[in-house]
Structure 1
């Protein structure tokens, strides 16, 4: 089976949620675990779109909570492929609160390493990534650096 390269735009995922009372922690903010679930789902969907396979989350890097979100806030989550290896890929997930006038304020960013699985739940090769813009090339280079850091940390037992 030939694996063709795909464009970043081919697998972009954007989801929208509204913060409801059952999503709040005791401080009245969006519970971090709920947001983590939402962004993990987005990363998984990006990986599935890119590979047309089942994928698993291998790691999450740099999960940064920049600001809180509150009841009735509209949450927009956008995931994109930034890098592909042999059987894994990095997915960048940005989260925003969107105001009524459409302005998006960043509240979270995370980088997921997703691994493609074959029908036997074993890692399988992923399509290459066609980089079309300077921004995509810059993201690829930053992702390569993050991958190198992940590999060093793995060697050190982190």
Structure 2
């Protein structure tokens, strides 16, 4: 799994227990999944269709740095299924895992559109 993004846990990211608010973490994951999909499918019109079971394994506290990792599970006709792991950058302890995040490629008409992709591409290989 490649870890693309790091986030620094700040006071505004905390819940009433002074640990990372799960909703904030899910927001970061959704954004990372969207950005990853936009780059892979070369289309800025993508939407999140589905997230499988979310497994919170550990907490994070103010000052921690977390890394968000994304990898492709499979390519569908108009979708891409990703998996995600978020871990503490310093300790490597897993904070959360999500087995399946389905992102859908959209056309100008707002409907699902086939993307024609079958494997992961890296921007450096496109240049």
TM-score using structure 2 length = 0.86
1:87 to 62, 72, 78: 78
1:13 Cα deviation from its structure 2 partner: 6.2
Q: CA, structure 1 residues 69+13, in 2 after alignment: closer, same or farther (shift >3 Å)? A: closer
The answer for unaligned runs of 5 or more in structure 1 is 1-8, 131-158
| 2:95 corresponds to 1:104 | no
- Tell whether the 8 Å contact from 1:46 to 1:91 is kept in structure 2 after alignment: no
- Offset, 1:115: 0.3
Relative to total residues, which structure has the larger helix share, 1 or 2?
1
> Which sits farther off after the overlay, 105-114 or 24-33?
105-114
Q: Does 1:119 align with 2:95?
A: no
Gaps of 5+ in 2: 121-127
Residue 45 (structure 1) aligns with: 35
Deviations 1:95-119 (A, max 9, x none): 00111xxx41111111210000112
Does 2:19 match 1:25?
A: no
Counterpart residue number, 1:64: 55
The equivalent of 2:6 in structure 1 is 16
Provide the secondary structure at the position in 1 that maps to 2:40. Answer: helix
TM-score, with structure 1 as normaliser: 0.70
Contact 1:13 1:42 in 2 (8 A): no
CA contact (8 A) 1:21 1:71 kept: yes
| Higher Cα Rg, which structure | 1
Which residue in the other structure is 2:123 paired with? none
